[in-house]
Every structure is written in C-alpha cells, then in structure tokens.
Structure 1
Amino acid sequence: MKRREFLAGAAGLLTAGTLAGCDDHGASRMPQAPAAAIGPDGRKRLPWQNWSGYRFGMPAERAAPVSEDELAELLKKTPAPIRPAGAGHSFTELVPTDGTLLSLRNFSGLIAHDASALTATLGAGTKLGQIGELLDPIGQALPNMPDIDQQTIAGATATGTHGTGQTLGALHAYATALRLVTPRGEIIDCSRTQHPEIFDAARVSLGSLGVITQFTLQNVPTHRLKRRVWLEPIDALVERFDERAAAHHSFEIYYIPFCSHGVAIAIDPTDEPLRPRGAEQDNNAVMEMKKLRDLVGWWPALRRRLLDLATQDFQPEEAVDLWYRIFPSSREVRFNEMEYHLPREALLPAFKQVRARVEAHHPEEFFPIELRVVRGDDAWLSPFHGHDRSGSIAVHRYYKEDPLPYFADIEPIYQAYEGRPHWGKMNTLDAKTFAQRYPKWREFLDVRAALDPDGRMLNPYLRRVFGLA
C-alpha cells in the first residue's frame, strides 16, 4: 500500500463527527481581496494579489513596457510607488501599490551567450522554469536552482531566492553583470568592475533601486542529475545532516510534524541513463496530511501512530534527468511561508527548538518544515552576506489559515542566532534590526538614495524596512 492510500483509508475510518468539531485554524480571520473600485481619477481599478492570495494591491496604473527607452520614460512619469510584480511569489508586502504595477514580461528570453566563458545574458522577466530550455541547447546549465521555478529572474534575485547545497550559492551569487534602469531614467550597466557599488547593492535589492532588465549569469556545462528521495527517522536525519550535506551536491530534509520520520532529498551529478521523475506526489501527500490533522489533530499520539504507519512502507524514489527537470518541484498547494537564514553552526540547534515548539504548542500544523544549506556571498543585502555557509529553516501555513500566530511563536527562536529572514517571506523585523544584522546596510541605503532620491520605488512596506516611514 502506498502512503497516500493509507492516509486516505485512515481518514475514512474516523467519524464525520470528529471533522465537524474541528477548529477553523484562523480561516475566518484571513484578509479578503478587495473588489474592483473606481479611483479618485474616475478610472476603474482592478485588484492585484500575490500567489498565496494573502497580499493585495489596487494599482492606479499597470504597465508592461516593451523597450528600455520606454521603461526609462515610464519610470520618470508614471504614478508612484512603482513596484515590479515579478511572478507575485513573495509573501511580504514588496509588491502592493496604489501607484504603478510594472510587468517585465516583455524583457524575457536569451539575449546573448559566451560559449567559452559559459555565461548567458537573460531578460530579467524570464521565469526560472523557462531557463532550462534556453540554456540546454547552448550547452549551459545553472549551477543550482530553487525548488520552485515559477519566479522571474528579477524577483528571485531581488529577494535572495536560493536552492540547497553547501558549496552552492543563491541565484544572485552567479550574476556577473546586470543592467539597471533608474527612476531618473538612467540606464546603467553594472559588474564587479563597472559601477561595482551599484552591482553589490543591486544583486539583492528588493526592487528598490529601479528596474533591472537583464542579468548575465555564470553557468556550468549542461549535465544530468540523479535525485534520490527517502524516508528515515527524523532523529537519524538530524544526526547525519552535516555528513550528508558535505557528501552531496544538493541535500535537504523535511520534518513532518507529529511524525517520527522525515524526508531526505539528495541530488548529485551522474552519467547514468535517463529515468525521468514520475508524477508529483507531494501535493496529494500534503493534502492527506491536512485531512489527518483535521480529524485527529486533537490526539497527537494517534496522529503520530497513523503517520508512522503510513510512512513505514515508503520506497526510495530515484530519477535521472537533465538538470532543470530535477531541481524544481510542482507546488500546487498554496501556502504562506516564513524562512530564516542562520549561521551554519546554528541550524540544527535552532531546528531542534522549532520542532519542540511545534510539537508542544501547534497541533494544527501539518506542512513539512524544510532545512537547507547555502554558500555565503558578498551581495550587500544577501541573507548569506559574510557567511562561509548558511543554513535555513522554512515553516509554512496553509493559505486558507491564518499564519500570524504560528509564525509569531516560531520567529523569536531565530533571534538568539541573529537570523536573517528571506526577503520574500514573512517576518516582523524592523530597520534597526536589519541595520545591526547587515554590515553593508548603510552603504546600501546610500546607493538607494542616490539612485532614487524621491523614493519613487518605495511603497509603505519598503519605507518601513528602510526606516523611512
């Protein structure tokens, strides 16, 4: 019997009356999207919302320029705040605006490449899921990829989005050059040798300096990867985490709340014959875990027993394919997320505290908790700035349920370790705390003020982040 079949069967053995008595887990307190409205200018405004449906905006203008010259003129004249939307995959308030919502859909695709240097220049609006079919024919590959590939390059780099692997950097770490259009209409090419201070600020910028239209990325030769997924007692996974993170190209684990087992995923280069991944099971498995939570969340011991039985027959999965078909996974179950990055030595101690807090106080939680590792870099607002290696812990809450009480209870654990949140994921830190945790915070603010002295790229959220509210 497969784990999904067992979970469904276990749920069926329990009475419907149990389900009827379940708490709504904060669903009624979730924000609701506004309806279309007529703005002060008499024009109809349509709401924008992010992927999870938690963040909303009512922009006065929506723009999708087709050239850098058009973009430069637009940035000087269009109603502010001007916010690039990317793919809407940030859980913070980076995008909502009552000014101009900007799409980079016309800045996508492969612009140029250098076969000898293994570099490629891509439009900033290119989605990560499109990059593989652009790079593979020219013999190139990204060194690493995030586990979700729906973001645009611009959105992913702006927020420090990353995959996992202790010798592998986040996406922005492989940028060798970029082109920035400022709110004053300047078009600036940046690299380590050309406007290096802007380059250091712009690689992770929260979209606050202007609009990046293209990136040049340092790549590697195209290759195959082998992906292994297996279950193991969570205590053993934690005990051997450092060993396996060092042994594998990419490695991560998922802790399943109120289960004795966790999931491990290891990815390594290979020359083995192709064995493509089968149908995605994660989405169904998550929803079955939700069903079990709804039915027996009030009885943790029974829940653990059922989850342990459901996972004990799991057979390891293996797949071999081209790199861009191995790294990402389909994430069809929507959620809100909080992810913190910690010095590598703090990762496991912090996780043990998170696990204890969840099991003691949060029987409503069912989403797996993710542990990853990332190489440090020198981008000024990179969460990995100045670290040799970083670790990250990501917690999730189902999109129909209020994430704030859960996240508020977990977040203080990270503060003792001076954790830095993922810029696209929910957190409550303020400008004073960011200034203490980012050595180049003041330098970034100076570059930002020089490029956008009137704050045309700043919505209320960014003004709070930068201490300007």
Structure 2
Amino acid sequence: MMQRRSLLQALVATALASQVSPMALAAEPRRLPWRNWSGSQQCLPMARKAPANMAELQELLSSTTGTIRAVGAGHSFTPLVPTDGTLLSLSRMGGVSDADSSTLQATIGGGTRLGDIGQPLHDAGQAMVNMPDIDEQTLAGSLATATHGTGAGLGCMSTLVTGLELMTASGDVLWCDAQQHPEIFQAAKVSLGSLGLITRVRLQNREPYKLRREMVWMPLEEMLEAVDGLADKHRNFEFFYVPFSGWGFTDAHDITDEPIAAAEEAVDPNEGTMELKTVRDWLDWSPALRELILGTYARTIPDEVKVGNSWSNYANERNVRFNEMEYHLPRENGLQALREVIAALESKHHEVFFPLEVRYVKSDDIWLSPFYQQDSMSIALHRYFEEDYKPFFATVEPILRKYGGRPHWGKLNSLGQDEFRELYPRWDDFAAVRRELDPNGRFLNDYMRKLFG
C-alpha cells in the first residue's frame, strides 16, 4: 500500500512539474498520423476530415483556417499531401451516377476508387476507355497527377474528362467544362490538388468490352528491336526488363470477343518480385552468375494469356511496396534513354532487383500534363520500400532529363519551380488561374509553395 501511495504521489508531482493541466490535456485534439503507401511521406495533421456531402464540405472550408490538403489512396511518392493543417478525404463522396446511354458519359464522385468504378459502369452499359495498372487510387487523385495507363493511341486519364465540379477555397462551387469556365477546366484536369476540391467528374466512356492480355518473355535485345512496332500494333502495350537477367517480357492487350478465361500458368507478380530480391541477396557479389541464373529461369516461363472484362485485365495487385521514379520522354528518345539507364543500373547499382517498366502515352493539350504536346515513352524505376532509393534515382534522373523527360507528378524527382517552368509552356497560365482561385494559398503545403510561390 505504501509503495502504491508513493507511486501516486510521484505521478502527481510529475504532472504538476510539467505545468500541463488536466483541462488542457482534455482540450488537446487527438492527432492521427498519416503516411503514404510506401511510408516515404508522412505527417501529423491537426485534423483529418471526411465530409459526407457538399454541405459538410462547405462548412469545413468556412469553419477552419490554415492549409487543407486532399488525400486519396496515398499512392503518390512526392510530398503532395503532407500538412500539419487539415487532411481531407472525399472517400464518403464517391460513386457512379447519371450514366447517359446516348453519350456514354457518367458522373463519378471524386473520392471514388478506380477499382470501384468498373462494375457499376458495366451495369450501366459503359466501361472506362483505359485504366492504369493499379486501381487503388481515387479518381480525383488520379486526375490531379495525370495518372495514365498505356497505349500509343490513348491519353492519360485526364483526357477523358468532359466536365468537373470544383469547390474553391471560398466554398464556391463551379461546374467547369469546355463551355463553362474553360480556362479553369484546362487547369483543373491536372492540378496537383492546388486549385480546390474536385467533388464530381464527368467522364467519357465507351461500351463495355473484353480484353485479351498476352505476356511473352524474350531476350532484351530482341525485345528492344520489336517494342516500337508492337506498341503501334496493340491497343495497350507495355514491356518490362528484369535487371541482371538479359531478359524481359511484353504485355499486350487487345479487344476481343473471346470468352472470359484465366491464364493457365499465371505468374504471381508479387511472388516473382520477392524471388528477384532473394536472388539479389544471394548473388549480389556476382552479376554474371546472377544473369546466368535469371536468364536460365526466364527461358522456362511460358507465355501467359488471359481474357477478361476490361477493368479486371488492366489492374495488377501490387502488394510488395516500393518507392518509384517515372519520367515521360518524347517517344523518339525513349529507347536510347532506356539503354543508357540499363547500362548505368547494371554497372553501378547491383542492389536493384525490381523490373523496369516502360509504357506508351498519347500527347494532349492539358496545361500541366506531362504529355502536353508530346507522344511519350514512360520509363519507371522502383526500389524496395525498406531500402534507400536516393543513390539509384540520383544516377538515373540526369539521363532521363537529358532526353527531354518530364517526371510523373506523383513519382519522386528533384525538380523545382524553375525546371518545371521550362518543361511546361503553360506553367505561368496555370499559376495565374491558381492565384485567382486560391489567393491565400489554402491548398498549398510546403512543397506546393515551393512550386507555385
């Protein structure tokens, strides 16, 4: 009893010495930490909010001060989200509505995850024209960063937007399209979340369709000789190179009437990635032996064919976490840049085991789209989330910049305002619209202020 009393007295004395009253502790709001998917970005916001409707969203804007940053699924690797102000999710304001069978357009809530769009659209007699290879992102977040799939004749997701609803810092609600507020519309289709909150999106779709997906392994040089032709031949086409193997594989999708069928011998990409890590761990000391083992194994992998509804064939399940850099280069420069990237990787960075991913994207006229007036080849590089990505990315980024690349807005890069202004002819036009809509910078965190002032 005496020991417990002494402990109680010591605790009281400590509390008094800290000069923090119980009332003050009770009044302090509970702060919930946030981190992105890979863990490379994190923050401790003052508040985390998820309004259920437009009225609650307007009330939030009018009743709070300081920075507000919208957050989707946390799949961006750049510091677009972190803030010590208010972190806002539109996850409760999602869903598909107003599907028009005559125009094949539908209205979709900005907080809707891409993976939750396919089936409702299908039930309404529609399908998205294209999708990225991860469907965890929200629609508004995907548009904000010019997220893309692959296809030499297909643009990024923002090119499919025919109208959008934007709530500004003052709580005003603007419907923007080619006729109403056309300049704001051009800016808002890729905006980094800096103009306001995109609450609804009118998306141009098409009739439902099935895709035949075929993956074929081949030696690196044979693959590089073929890829440009394959990109023009197939509706969707991308390819991968496995470092220190001399082998890669192509991934092509085409519309088909064939019945839905699963691949007979499907390779699990997550298991495959971890197997590559194991080989790296064992054979990092001998690139030649590593290439012999991996090349021999690659020869045994059969072609893989899968037929499915469009939305189910685009997306892969990515459970092995990573940090990523991706640059979009003028298509005519892409293969030469890729060869230099592979040479630098295999001479200086034996620690890398993730495959390099290469995609194709059609040009557009959206002010902050990385594909602005540029048919592109996109080169993506990954590093395991528990390992330091900085040395590898620092080696490769100058090569990608040398060939005229623009970084993906959600992927790691070292560029600042001056470099971006050189890459984007309409940068100052965008900045002017941004200042007009948000003169006090409520939607700018520290990173965004460095970009837009």
| TM-score (structure 2 length as normaliser) | 0.93
1:222 is matched with 208
SS of equivalent residue, structure 1 residue 240: helix
1:285 is matched with 272
1:360 is matched with 347
1:68 is matched with 54
Which one of 289, 304, 309 corresponds to residue 302 of structure 1? 289
SS of equivalent residue, structure 1 residue 219: strand
Alpha-carbon displacement from aligned partner over 1:401-458 (angstroms, at most 9, x marks no partner): 0111111111000122221100000000010010111011000000000000000000
2:390 is matched with 404
Contact 1:381 1:438 (C-alpha < 8 Å) held by counterparts: yes
The one-letter amino acid paired with 1:42 is E
2:111 is matched with 125
Rounded to whole Å, the distance in 2 between the matches of 1:333 and 1:80 is 36
Note the 1:64-143 alignment, pairs <5 A. Answer: 64-143=50-129
The one-letter amino acid paired with 1:56 is Q
The one-letter amino acid paired with 1:53 is G
Q: Structure 1 stretch 77-86 or stretch 353-362: which is displaced more?
A: 77-86
Note the 1:320-335 alignment, pairs <5 A. Answer: 320-335=307-322
CA drift of 1:277 comes to 4.5
- The reply on whether 1:259 has 2:245 as its aligned counterpart is yes
Rounded to whole Å, the distance in 2 between the matches of 1:179 and 1:280 is 41
- The reply on whether 1:375 has 2:365 as its aligned counterpart is no
Structure whose alpha-carbon radius of gyration is higher: 2
Which one of 456, 459, 462 corresponds to residue 442 of structure 2? 456
Rounded to whole Å, the distance in 2 between the matches of 1:348 and 1:77 is 52
Alpha-carbon displacement from aligned partner over 1:14-58 (angstroms, at most 9, x marks no partner): xxxxxxxxxxxxxxxxxxxxxxxx999732312100000111010
2:14 is matched with none
Rounded to whole Å, the distance in 2 between the matches of 1:293 and 1:40 is 52
Contact 1:64 1:103 (C-alpha < 8 Å) held by counterparts: yes
CA drift of 1:69 comes to 2.4
CA drift of 1:298 comes to 1.2
Alpha-carbon displacement from aligned partner over 1:267-293 (angstroms, at most 9, x marks no partner): 000011110357661000000000110
Rounded to whole Å, the distance in 2 between the matches of 1:40 and 1:142 is 49
Rounded to whole Å, the distance in 1 between the matches of 2:117 and 2:221 is 37
Rounded to whole Å, the distance in 1 between the matches of 2:27 and 2:287 is 56
2:304 is matched with 317
Which one of 329, 335, 349 corresponds to residue 348 of structure 1? 335
Which one of 380, 383, 394 corresponds to residue 380 of structure 2? 394
- The reply on whether 1:188 has 2:174 as its aligned counterpart is yes
1:246 is matched with 232
Rounded to whole Å, the distance in 1 between the matches of 2:321 and 2:152 is 28
Contact 1:283 1:333 (C-alpha < 8 Å) held by counterparts: yes
Q: Which runs of 5+ in 1 are unaligned?
A: 1-37
Which one of 158, 164, 180 corresponds to residue 172 of structure 1? 158
Contact 2:366 2:372 (C-alpha < 8 Å) held by counterparts: yes
Contact 2:169 2:196 (C-alpha < 8 Å) held by counterparts: yes
CA drift of 1:81 comes to 1.4
Q: How many residues align?
A: 429
Q: Structure 1 stretch 270-279 or stretch 251-260: which is displaced more?
A: 270-279
Q: Alpha carbons of 1:229 and 1:40: their partners in 2 closer, same or farther (altered >3 Å)?
A: farther
SS of equivalent residue, structure 1 residue 450: helix
Which one of 377, 399, 416 corresponds to residue 430 of structure 1? 416
Spell out structure 1 runs of 4+ moving beyond 3 A.
Answer: 38-41, 277-280
Alpha-carbon displacement from aligned partner over 1:143-170 (angstroms, at most 9, x marks no partner): 1100000000011110010000000111
Which one of 243, 246, 255 corresponds to residue 269 of structure 1? 255
SS of equivalent residue, structure 1 residue 321: strand
Rounded to whole Å, the distance in 1 between the matches of 2:28 and 2:402 is 51
2:145 is matched with 159
Rounded to whole Å, the distance in 2 between the matches of 1:80 and 1:93 is 18
Alpha-carbon displacement from aligned partner over 1:191-245 (angstroms, at most 9, x marks no partner): 0111000000000000000100010111111011000011001111111111000
Q: Alpha carbons of 1:39 and 1:297: their partners in 2 closer, same or farther (altered >3 Å)?
A: farther
Contact 2:210 2:309 (C-alpha < 8 Å) held by counterparts: yes
**What percent identity do the matched residue pairs reach?**
49
2:37 is matched with 51
CA drift of 1:70 comes to 2.0
Rounded to whole Å, the distance in 2 between the matches of 1:128 and 1:248 is 23
Rounded to whole Å, the distance in 2 between the matches of 1:354 and 1:40 is 55
Q: Structure 1 stretch 79-88 or stretch 440-449: which is displaced more?
A: 79-88
Contact 2:32 2:48 (C-alpha < 8 Å) held by counterparts: no
Q: Structure 1 stretch 277-286 or stretch 227-236: which is displaced more?
A: 277-286
Q: Which runs of 5+ in 2 are unaligned?
A: 1-23
Rounded to whole Å, the distance in 2 between the matches of 1:120 and 1:316 is 37
| TM-score (structure 1 length as normaliser) | 0.90
Rounded to whole Å, the distance in 2 between the matches of 1:229 and 1:262 is 10
Contact 2:168 2:437 (C-alpha < 8 Å) held by counterparts: yes
Rounded to whole Å, the distance in 2 between the matches of 1:335 and 1:39 is 38
